[in-house]
Amino acid sequence: MKDNTIAVHAGTLRDEKTGGVNTPIYTSSACDYRSRDESPYPRYFNTKNQKAVGEKIAALEHAQAGLVFSSGMGAISTSILAYAGAGDHVVMQDALYGGTHNFATEWFSHFDIDVSFTETSADSIINAIIPETQVIVIETPTNPLLEVVDIKKIAQFAAHKQITTIIDNTFASPVNQNPIDFGIDIVVHSGTKYLGGHSDLCCGMVACSKVKMEKILSLARVLGPSLDPRLCYLLERSMKTLGLRVNAQTKNAMQIAQFLADHADIAKVHYPGLKDFKGHEIAKNQMSGFGAMLSFELNDKDPDWGGRELKIISPAVSLGGVESTICPPSSTSHAKMTKEERQRVGVTDALLRLSIGLEDIQDLKQDLDNALKKVTN
Ligand SMILES: *Cc1c(COP(=O)(O)O)cnc(C)c1O
């Protein structure tokens, strides 16, 4: 089956009573224990609604097993802790989702886990490996600079050293990147973004082999970040249109990136689809589309512009929804850093991150053009 067929059909449980084509919502948290190996219980991650979406993400990510969580951070923290314990070392990129970064800096010491942060390149990640390294966590493309790392190079090296690799595939989504095909062990998602896709739910997902899933499931059952069956259903419904949405958003983003790159008021555009972008060649090898996230810097006429005067593109922090949103990373995702630290990692005050939605491309371009015309000279 191809992606759109998988998105529509994988995991769906037909309603036996009515013949309905959708998975029914199973609300019970108390189920008959007789004549069953295991009764469904939400915190056991084994209700029919959890299994339906789990199967869908597994199929979309070319994995054997999938699991849904109540947030992306639930999926990420559980996956890391399942494979890194006392005395172990973890390698992570510096440019990682803020929550993941904070989890490592504020909580790893609590579990006696050591961590090294590296630049966003396969060589820096590989060079940071020490004999105690048990887990490598990567993210590509990164937030907010869309830097790209060579997934296959890292996965191959790690496999050879028997190190577990985890990738946060939120930005690309399974439509544009399938890391398991390149040898990555565990794929995690903030389902709050493209998988949910309508900025109306919070969830996370994991996809990996059946063997790798055993520890993750076992830990998840005691940590408890499970998703309610009703939200599982909403997520399942959203995931059916994942391919249509993300392909259309990706197409829009390519055009917006080009439009901004050609615009006189824009100093720099960060988008893996642009030919002169640093990570373009690697992205071409590992992504089927370049995604719908991009960022850009205004030239120095009005560094505090911040996208004011935009009428369609909304100022909002999250991403991946059907509506286009814009936010300044310096005062949102990277606000905890000092100005100097931000400068060092390339997050200037003039940087703006765009999540491109499903609106008509002419309207998006015009919205940006009109707003940019009001930049003070
Ligand atoms: C939003 C996000 C997360 C965290 O997901 P939540 O659902 O908010 O817990 C993790 N990684 C990336 C790349 C994200 O954008």
Q: Which atom of ligand 1 is nearest to the CA of 74?
A: 9
The answer on 138 and 8 residing in a single domain is yes
Tell me, what CATH number does 363's domain have?
A: 3.90.1150.10
Q: Give the whole-angstrom CA distance, residue 286 versus residue 181.
A: 9
pLDDT band at 376; cut points 50, 70, 90: low
Q: Pick the last residue of a domain from 239, 270, 295.
A: 239
Residue 62 has pLDDT above 80, yes or no: yes
Q: What is the model's pLDDT at position 34?
A: 86
Tell me, what CATH number does 212's domain have?
A: 3.40.640.10
The answer on 219 and 265 residing in a single domain is no
pLDDT band at 303; cut points 50, 70, 90: low
Q: Which residues line ligand 1 (CB under 6 A)?
A: 71-73, 97, 99, 143, 168, 170-171, 190, 192-193, 202, 204
* Gyration radius of the chain over CA positions: 21
- Mean pLDDT confidence for 16-41: 90
Range from 70-74, 215-219, 316-320 carrying the lowest mean pLDDT: 316-320
Q: Give the whole-angstrom CA distance, residue 177 versus residue 61.
A: 8
The answer on 276 and 200 residing in a single domain is no
Best of 68, 71, 73, 198 to mutate for ligand 1, by most ligand atoms within 8 A of CB?
73
- Mean pLDDT confidence for 340-358: 90
Best of 78, 80, 97 to mutate for ligand 1, by most ligand atoms within 8 A of CB?
97
- Selected residue with higher pLDDT from 346 and 56: 56
The answer on 204 and 338 residing in a single domain is no
Q: Give the whole-angstrom CA distance, residue 278 versus residue 134.
A: 30
The answer on 167 and 70 residing in a single domain is yes
Q: How remote is the CA of residue 285 from the centroid of ligand 1, in Å? A: 25
Q: Pick the last residue of a domain from 215, 239, 263.
A: 239
The answer on 349 and 264 residing in a single domain is yes
Per the structure, the complete domain to which residue 189 belongs is given by 3-239
Q: What is the model's pLDDT at position 356?
A: 98
Which class for 245: exposed (0-12), middle (13-18), buried (19 or more C-beta within 10 A)? buried
Q: Which atom of ligand 1 is nearest to the CA of 170?
A: 13
- Selected residue with higher pLDDT from 376 and 325: 325
pLDDT band at 340; cut points 50, 70, 90: confident
Residue 370 has pLDDT above 70, yes or no: yes
Residue 371 has pLDDT above 80, yes or no: yes
Q: How far is CA 317 from the centre of its chain?
A: 14
Summarize pLDDT for 209-258 with one digit per residue, the tens: 999 999 999 999 999 999 999 999 999 999 999 999 999 999 999 999 99
Residue 118 has pLDDT above 70, yes or no: yes
Q: How remote is the CA of residue 321 from the centroid of ligand 1, in Å? A: 13
The answer on 298 and 227 residing in a single domain is no
Q: What is the model's pLDDT at position 377?
A: 58
Q: Pick the last residue of a domain from 188, 211, 239.
A: 239
Tell me the percentage of the chain whose pLDDT exceeds 90: 84
**How many domains does the chain contain in total?**
2
- Mean pLDDT confidence for 24-49: 91
The answer on 355 and 217 residing in a single domain is no
| CA-proximal residue: ligand 1, atom 5 (nearest) | 72
The answer on 287 and 215 residing in a single domain is no
Average pLDDT along the chain: 95
The answer on 246 and 190 residing in a single domain is no
- Mean pLDDT confidence for 182-206: 98
Among 15, 81, 3, smallest CA distance to 233 is for: 15
The answer on 229 and 264 residing in a single domain is no
| CA-proximal residue: ligand 1, atom 1 (nearest) | 190
pTM of the model: 0.97
Q: How remote is the CA of residue 260 from the centroid of ligand 1, in Å? A: 26
Q: How remote is the CA of residue 235 from the centroid of ligand 1, in Å? A: 16
* SS3 of residue 298 by DSSP: strand
The answer on 247 and 232 residing in a single domain is no
E strand segments, the chain: 65-69, 89-93, 114-118, 133-139, 164-168, 186-190, 204-208, 266-270, 293-298, 314-315, 325-327, 351-355
